[in-house]
Amino acid sequence: MAQNNIAVLDTSIADRLPASSKTLFDAKASKGLTFEAIAQALGRSEVAVAALFYGQAAASPEDVTKLSALLGVPEATLRSQLLGFPDRGRAGPMPPVEPLIYRLYEIVQNYGYAYKAVLNEKLGDGIMSAISFSTKVEKETDAQGNNWAVITLRGKWLPFSRF
Amino acid sequence: MAQNNIAVLDTSIADRLPASSKTLFDAKASKGLTFEAIAQALGRSEVAVAALFYGQAAASPEDVTKLSALLGVPEATLRSQLLGFPDRGRAGPMPPVEPLIYRLYEIVQNYGYAYKAVLNEKLGDGIMSAISFSTKVEKETDAQGNNWAVITLRGKWLPFSRF
Amino acid sequence: MAQNNIAVLDTSIADRLPASSKTLFDAKASKGLTFEAIAQALGRSEVAVAALFYGQAAASPEDVTKLSALLGVPEATLRSQLLGFPDRGRAGPMPPVEPLIYRLYEIVQNYGYAYKAVLNEKLGDGIMSAISFSTKVEKETDAQGNNWAVITLRGKWLPFSRF
Amino acid sequence: MAQNNIAVLDTSIADRLPASSKTLFDAKASKGLTFEAIAQALGRSEVAVAALFYGQAAASPEDVTKLSALLGVPEATLRSQLLGFPDRGRAGPMPPVEPLIYRLYEIVQNYGYAYKAVLNEKLGDGIMSAISFSTKVEKETDAQGNNWAVITLRGKWLPFSRF
Amino acid sequence: MAQNNIAVLDTSIADRLPASSKTLFDAKASKGLTFEAIAQALGRSEVAVAALFYGQAAASPEDVTKLSALLGVPEATLRSQLLGFPDRGRAGPMPPVEPLIYRLYEIVQNYGYAYKAVLNEKLGDGIMSAISFSTKVEKETDAQGNNWAVITLRGKWLPFSRF
Amino acid sequence: MAQNNIAVLDTSIADRLPASSKTLFDAKASKGLTFEAIAQALGRSEVAVAALFYGQAAASPEDVTKLSALLGVPEATLRSQLLGFPDRGRAGPMPPVEPLIYRLYEIVQNYGYAYKAVLNEKLGDGIMSAISFSTKVEKETDAQGNNWAVITLRGKWLPFSRF
Amino acid sequence: MAQNNIAVLDTSIADRLPASSKTLFDAKASKGLTFEAIAQALGRSEVAVAALFYGQAAASPEDVTKLSALLGVPEATLRSQLLGFPDRGRAGPMPPVEPLIYRLYEIVQNYGYAYKAVLNEKLGDGIMSAISFSTKVEKETDAQGNNWAVITLRGKWLPFSRF
Amino acid sequence: MAQNNIAVLDTSIADRLPASSKTLFDAKASKGLTFEAIAQALGRSEVAVAALFYGQAAASPEDVTKLSALLGVPEATLRSQLLGFPDRGRAGPMPPVEPLIYRLYEIVQNYGYAYKAVLNEKLGDGIMSAISFSTKVEKETDAQGNNWAVITLRGKWLPFSRF
Amino acid sequence: MAQNNIAVLDTSIADRLPASSKTLFDAKASKGLTFEAIAQALGRSEVAVAALFYGQAAASPEDVTKLSALLGVPEATLRSQLLGFPDRGRAGPMPPVEPLIYRLYEIVQNYGYAYKAVLNEKLGDGIMSAISFSTKVEKETDAQGNNWAVITLRGKWLPFSRF
Amino acid sequence: MAQNNIAVLDTSIADRLPASSKTLFDAKASKGLTFEAIAQALGRSEVAVAALFYGQAAASPEDVTKLSALLGVPEATLRSQLLGFPDRGRAGPMPPVEPLIYRLYEIVQNYGYAYKAVLNEKLGDGIMSAISFSTKVEKETDAQGNNWAVITLRGKWLPFSRF
């Protein structure tokens, strides 16, 4: 039965997301499409597509055209709702209350200084960009049949300017 | 000149870390060792070793023996300071104020729901463990000579129990 | 008289819960069903069923079918509202302001380190999972006629990975 | 090797605990005693004893006498440091940053309203006392060899007074 | 003129209270009844009745019948809105911003430890219950014609269990 | 045995209190005096005396003389430490983490609006002063042998000025 | 042109104010009246009248009659909306985000202890009442043509009671 | 007797103030000087002098010379401690916990929007400066013998620039 | 394609902005106008115009007339919505969650004290006004084709008054 | 007289800064050097040098050599204290309490969305880097003799990666 295979938008968080989120998630649910299927159609990563649905990433004109066709939403509707620049960062509270998202936060809390120390030694005084940045999610299954989630973060290294 | 190649402990955060942090970082600075070198000697990941130095990961008895030899700290001192179970999560404030660590936090803030949606669709209702978990940091240099930081998070998938 | 025997949904918190919460609680009130009765029908624990009503636990397809029959809500309605993965953690504020829930919070505040110390000594460096987890509530009456509430938490022990 | 079998006091949290915490934990470490051993000697639960060490529970005169003998700390020292009434609730920050303690907090966050609903239906309008209260920790090993932690909370049911 | 003799519900806080609050306060305003009058009719304390109006205390079936008669609200309406268990603690923000309520908060802030010290010496290690509890408000006028408010808090003493 | 009859100062909170707190509590512990005994000697309420010890109330010159005699602390020491005006409000965190003090806070949280409504109806638009104010603590024992704590708050009623 | 001479109610804060605020501000805008004009008609201070419009001060029956005549709002409407006791303190966030209001907050932040020290020396151990209190705003123009705002706060001195 | 006539520095807040605060307050206490006396000697307002003592205002070279003479502190000591620019705003927590300072905060909370509305109507779109600013404190005694505190705030009006 | 060239208003933040924001942004989107074009028509800086659209800056009568003509919104509508004085500071949360705005916040966090030290040395004890203030944004492209954003802040220097 | 011409380190914030801050500021004060003079000697911007003194920017080996000569601090001391990578962001609290720094924060609060809108329209979907970044401070004096502070922020534009 389909109900636990498709991520949908919890109505109680729709208020803090752009209008496009409801449009996109409703169409996705009605078409029964996974992010994997949509990502393939758009030629983008699944995480990027999910971020676009949550209003955290921009859509190109080609994305809009393809989404319109795939989801059966009039292109004009999508274009007007995806018009403009994403206003990021408001999808959920911080610290996160959702257990899955909290685990990621906890990784930053516990390993933040360790990442900094190792990155500084490897790359100098700077930061890993979260803008010149991509990320992906993979599923692995080990020999014992256990599933593992693998998240990769890849960001450009930006050294602090000397001035 | 060496001074920007070795991560050291900022004295102003030492108070919220265990006594072992000061011991280990002082010895590291005095020996001029990188986390890469120490990780190699311990057969552990660099991030794990840095986490151990910040009091965020446990040391095995073998780690203690090797660290004692490598860092020139009496084994008894290390053993007594590393005695016990790490009391994690107190290395830095949340939200992080350090720009490098903030970027990781921002990734969770912006992409948290996207990760959740994609992971749920791939693996069902559950979480990626931050305990049955490992992580590593790599440096990549692209064709244009730009450096990139790549962080990999790998956690066991834990489905919510039905009860 | 029935009014204090059935837990209902306070309308003023419905906004932060999924649409299914209102549907389920309204039907429960109108049928006059306790969580005990619903749990029995579903073959699940009372706490799990209440959590499902508050949007904090997933329903299986069989749960949906049984709930539809029991509560007199069309299966299609329930299926569409319970479609997707729970977005947990938003039922109430933390620290809790409700006295009953605050007492549980206070137990964590007062005994948290004691639990950690005892669990570490019994089971090593790790955590008790809140995901591979079940919980139940029991009522006991002592010889003097006093009632006692007994809450049991049972979680898989996850040792920190060495990496 | 002993170092990971005995819970000790992280020096960086000693400042927010009473003087007795350092005295007791230092003696415990030096004697290599587990909370199980101490609890047995005192005829109390392990969690209660750990709570006493963290300044979250009171010691009776008999406890003081037995602790003095067991830990090799002069009774006068212990008596003066354990003199008075515990000033509870300051052992760690809330929300907890320690992963093990956070999991307990998360259980309250996710299941708080479910506990309330079920307890109200079973016992009426009231709360489970955290004062007329006891708690214990047990280790279970299932058929597959997995370890499970079981925490039991037992509190007197206090109905709200009608006035 | 009547307008400043009757406490009414500020519409801007109605959203965080149960539906019964609006029903009860509207009827009270329209009948021009004081809490004193309603308390007399119900045989309860004024504070308890006001708490009931704000959703912070439970109504018995007899209360509902009497309120229906007194306020001219259909008993079925009241019963359905007062059905269930109060979800307490959400009437106002903490720290309070209302000057009258802030003064009570300030008393806790300034005298909290003094109360604890005196109560501990008088009654031992425990707490004054806020559940097995009643409270009342009285007006006194001194010889100079000054008015004084007297608030009495009476709670059962709960000693911490030894376990 | 004396140890649980005398309230003492937890060393870990001494830092946020004036120097007089440590002086006074140390002398009280060494003399084994209760607040009841000291209050009797000073002709003041026990709560006022405890507040004075915690730096939350002023001492008159006569109080200083009597305290010096009673506690065996040189009058000059006391005078210099009690010199000046109390800097109130810093004895403990808010919300309180101590269970006893939290219960008082919870009473404000739950009944704050009810107190306001009843006081407004009885006394008009104004507040109960926390400055022109006194408070006392009493112990009652009911017919069943249960102990009850009774706290009385008495404050001058201040009507809002019309301007 | 009138538009910048009349203070109006920002629609986005109306939700946290009583219904009377919208009624009063709408009528004020439509009549083009300044607070100076309204204050003159009511025989009250401008700040008090503005506070009344924001729901932070009570209206007397005479105020209601005069406001009705001046603003052209039916007296019954005003009476019902101004019925009851103000629920103060919710007009804006603290710390203030509005620059003008923030400057007042900053004065408290920077000079708070200085005010306390000087007031204590002049008047003893006590506070300046914010209830037995009036305030006014004046405009001054100096010889160079610069404008200055002068705010006067006048509050009754309340000595702490000795008890 | 002197002890309640001179404002002194609570030792527990000295840590967040500059070194000069302790020097100045210690000398003031030892000389038994009021702020009124010091202000007269310096030709400055009492509040300004108290602010200088709390590290919230700058001293001129002439102030330093006069303070040295008046307080009996070597000029070199004062000069080195008062060297530099004040680092303002850290004297106390916000919201204030001290009752006297809280009343000022409450005035901003309750009347902030009223001040803004009246000032905007009188002076246009702008703010009252807290920098081009002076303030004073006066004591008034009314016909009934009641004391009143009067605080005057006078700040330059800064219109928002049009750009 | 146009959709990413025009900044629009995210519907989910419209609630905390004045009604004029929606009117202005809707018209801007429908006319396809950039802030550059509107700024040129008004003879104002782009940032000032954008601030006006977000309710953070005042419009002059001439601005209203020109905006009406340019955007095709009736002048009466604009006049009534822009009537009154801006209620600033509520456009977004602080700390900012939007990555672009966060970077500005981070600059204040990291360089705040450095700015203060340098400005104090150059200009004395005072502040840079944010009211007598203008700001602009420029785009630069370097020899390698990289784009740079240049933000200039120019504020009047206000020395602290001596009083 | 020199005392207000040289920025020094407030002792009460030294605890949250690296050890180098005290060393550098003490030497600067003793040599009576301005940041302008030090910046000239190092060939860096004044703000960068002040940031280096506050531990917010890295020193190159050449900087260390020059600072040692200029300040009269042994090069080995400086090298060991400046060894390692800055741990940024901890110089002061956010929101800032220092009036000068608060004004910068207020500019972000008030103009943040305006900057974003204008930058997005000029440069697309991205951010202005705070890492590939430089800043400077200038003093201007206008025809009327008023001083103005001009702060320039110049950051590389980073477009969000498409992935």
What is the model's pLDDT at position C49? 98
B55-111 pLDDT, tens digit per residue, is: 999 999 999 999 999 999 999 999 999 978 999 999 999 999 999 999 999 999 999
I residues 56-85 near J, CB within 8 Å? 56
What is the model's pLDDT at position H3? 45
Q: Which of B73, F112, I124, I113 is nearest to G89 (CA)?
A: F112
Pairwise pLDDT comparison (H125 vs D83), residue with the higher score: H125
Q: Is E129 a catalytic residue?
A: yes
* Chain E CB within 8 Å of residue C121 CB: no
Is-contact C100 E86, C-beta < 8 A? Answer: no
C85-137 pLDDT, tens digit per residue, is: 999 999 999 999 999 999 999 999 999 999 999 999 999 999 999 999 999 99
**From the CA of H77, how many Å to the nearest CA of chain F?**
24
* Lookup: tokens for C105: 């919070």
For the ranges B125-134, F67-76, H6-15, H16-25, which has the lowest average pLDDT?
H6-15
What is the model's pLDDT at position A33? 96
Q: Tell whether the model's pLDDT for residue F1 goes beyond 80.
A: no
Chain G residues within an 8 Å CB radius of F162: 44, 48, 58, 60
- Looking at chain D, the whole-number percentage of residues with pLDDT higher than 90 is 92
Is-contact I149 J123, C-beta < 8 A? Answer: yes
Our answer on whether I and A touch (3+ beta-carbon pairs < 8 Å) is yes
Contact B110 I95 (CB under 8 A): no
What is the model's pLDDT at position D2? 41
Chain E residues within an 8 Å CB radius of H95: 95
**From the CA of G85, how many Å to the nearest CA of chain E?**
6
For the ranges B3-17, D138-152, F88-102, which has the lowest average pLDDT?
B3-17
What is the model's pLDDT at position A84? 86
Rounded average pLDDT over H140-149? 97
| Closest-CA residue of chain B to I109 | B97
Considering only CB atoms, E132 lies closest to which of D85, D135, D158, namely D158
Mind listing the pLDDT tens digit of every residue in chain J (163 residues)? 344 589 999 988 998 999 999 999 999 999 999 999 999 999 999 999 999 999 999 999 999 999 999 999 999 999 999 978 999 999 999 999 999 999 999 999 999 999 999 999 999 999 999 999 999 999 999 999 999 999 999 999 999 999 9
Supply the DSSP string of F87-151, one letter for each residue: --S-SS-SS--SHHHHHHHHHHHHHHHHHHHHHHHHH-SEEEEEEEEEEEEEEEE-TTS-EEEEE
Any idea what the Cα angle at residue D99 is, between residues D98 and D100, rounded to 5°? 95
H28-43 pLDDT, tens digit per residue, is: 999 999 999 999 999 9
What is the model's pLDDT at position J2? 41
Rounded average pLDDT over B139-157? 98
The residues pairing with J158 across neighbouring beta strands, listed in sequence order, are J127
* Chain G CB within 8 Å of residue E106 CB: no
Considering only CB atoms, H7 lies closest to which of F84, F89, F90, namely F84
Q: Which residues of chain I have pLDDT under 70?
A: 1-4
**From the CA of F138, how many Å to the nearest CA of chain C?**
25
Helix, strand, coil percent values for chain J (each to nearest 5): 50, 20, 30
Considering only CB atoms, I96 lies closest to which of J6, J48, J112, namely J112
CA–CA dist A156, E146 (Å, integer): 72
Q: Tell whether the model's pLDDT for residue E144 goes beyond 80.
A: yes
Contact C131 B163 (CB under 8 A): no
Q: What is the DSSP letter of A162?
A: P
Order of strands across the sheet with F126-141? E126-141, E147-159, F147-159, F126-141
* Chain I CB within 8 Å of residue A153 CB: no
Considering only CB atoms, E158 lies closest to which of D58, D117, D131, namely D131
Best to test chain B binding among I102, I104, I107, I146 (most B CBs inside 10 Å): I102
A3-30 pLDDT, tens digit per residue, is: 458 999 998 899 899 999 999 999 999 9
Chain A residues within an 8 Å CB radius of B99: 127
Q: Domains in chain E, start-ordered, CATH in brackets?
A: 11-82 (1.10.260.40), 99-159 (3.30.1160.10)
What is the model's pLDDT at position G4? 52
| Cβ neighbours, 10 Å, residue D142 | 9
| Closest-CA residue of chain D to C158 | D147
Contact A128 B113 (CB under 8 A): no
What is the model's pLDDT at position D144? 95
Our answer on whether B and J touch (3+ beta-carbon pairs < 8 Å) is yes
Best to test chain B binding among J20, J80, J85 (most B CBs inside 10 Å): J85
> C158 Cβ partners below 8 Å, 6+ apart?
B129, B131, B132, B158, C126, C127, C128, C129, C132
Cα separations in angstroms, D145 against A154, B125, C157, D148: 38, 25, 11, 10
* Chain G CB within 8 Å of residue J95 CB: yes
Considering only CB atoms, J99 lies closest to which of G97, G99, G106, namely G106
Contact C19 A11 (CB under 8 A): yes
* Chain E CB within 8 Å of residue H144 CB: no
G68 class by beta-carbon count within 10 Å (0-12 exposed, 13-18 middle, 19+ buried): middle
Rounded average pLDDT over D1-6? 58
Chain H residues within an 8 Å CB radius of I129: 158
Task: Tally H–J CB contacts below 8 A.
Answer: 52
Any idea what the Cα angle at residue I104 is, between residues I99 and I107, rounded to 5°? 120
Chain B residues within an 8 Å CB radius of D10: 18, 55, 84, 87
CA–CA dist D50, C117 (Å, integer): 7
Q: Which of H1, H28, E107 is nearest to F63 (CA)?
A: H1
Phi, psi dihedral angles at I61 (to 5 degrees): -55, -40
Q: Tell whether the model's pLDDT for residue C11 goes beyond 90.
A: no
Is-contact F48 F57, C-beta < 8 A? Answer: yes
* Lookup: tokens for J95: 């929101």
Q: Which of J10, J21, J157, J155 is nearest to J88 (CA)?
A: J21
What is the model's pLDDT at position D4? 52
Global pTM value:
0.96
